[in-house]
Structures are given as C-alpha cells and as structure tokens.
Amino acid sequence: MFWSLPSRILAGEAAASGAGLVNIGAAIAGFVGPSIMGYLKGLTGSTELGVALLALALFSAAALILAIPRRFMGRA
C-alpha cells in the first residue's frame, strides 16, 4: 500500500523522493521493530507488550493513510 501512495499524490521528482522516503521508513522499521520486541521481551519476559506496540504502530499508520484527503489522490 505504501509504495503506491507517493506516485498517486506527488508528481515527477517529488514522487521519486516519496518512494525513497517509503524505502527509508521500511529499512528503519526493519531494524527498530525487532529491537523493540527484543527489548520488551527481555524487560517483561513476554512478547505481548511488544506485539501490542507494533499493532498500535500499524493502526496508527492506517489512520494516517485514511486521513489523506480524497482530493489529493490521483493527482499525478
């Protein structure tokens, strides 16, 4: 889903920059997510809090996507 957003909202070089930003976010999440899970599992002895935190991040991202006004979609 995230990969299609920059090209639907932005045009030209901005769309390429948006795709790069999505890629950077994915790389950071690939490091931070497991690190947080490991830290919280070591702290609490359970993965429940880590999974809840990652689920909260997922739902927050979905809410941000749904908050994009419809008039911005399909601009390119």
Q: Is 63 inside a domain boundary? A: yes
Q: Is residue 62 part of a domain?
A: yes
Q: Is residue 6 part of a domain?
A: yes
Which residues, 6 or more positions from 18, have their beta carbon under 8 angstroms from its beta carbon? 5, 6, 7, 9, 10
Residues 43-54: what's their mean pLDDT?
Answer: 92
Q: How confident is the model at residue 75 (pLDDT cuts 50, 70, 90)?
A: low
Total domains in the fold of the chain:
1
Is 41 contained in some domain? yes
Q: pTM of the predicted model, to two decimals?
A: 0.69
10 Rama class: left (phi>0) / alpha (psi -120 to 50) / beta: beta
Residue 76 maps to a domain? no
